[in-house]
Amino acid sequence: MPADSAPEVPPEAERAGVVAFPQPVCAACGGPREPQKREACSDRCRAALSRRRRAEAETTRQQQTETELAVSRGDLKDAQAVLEAISWLANITLTRLDAPSSKGGHNG
Ligand SMILES: [Zn+2]
């Protein structure tokens, strides 16, 4: 007895989408997110983003420390290599994370 029929829901949500601007995507899972949300589609994704940021920041810090060490030792060649790595990392970080939009306004 095939009494298993899932209720088909018409894709009204998809039809209601606007095509004026590209659909914003979640920076964590890459899925679609509401424009009113910051950068992640859910609290969970936001937490994941925060974690990732911390990890990336820590990696960058480590690279910087290595650079300082190399410079203090006089290994300029090594420092240059590390610097390149840092710029590469920074590029990725900047690409992945939205630039913090500074709000210009005076209150009171
Ligand atoms: Zn998400």
* Number of domains comprising the chain: 1
Q: Output the CA 74–ligand 1 centroid distance in Å.
A: 45
> What is the domain range of residue 70?
22-96
d(CA 74, CA 68): 10
Q: Output the CA 10–ligand 1 centroid distance in Å.
A: 23
Q: Output the CA 46–ligand 1 centroid distance in Å.
A: 7
Q: Output the CA 41–ligand 1 centroid distance in Å.
A: 4
Task: Confirm whether pTM is higher than 0.85.
Answer: no
- Digit-by-digit pLDDT tens for the chain (108 residues) are 555 665 565 555 455 554 556 789 999 999 999 988 888 999 999 999 999 999 999 999 999 999 888 888 887 777 788 888 888 888 877 776 655 555 555 555
Residue 75 placed within a domain: yes
Residue 8 placed within a domain: no
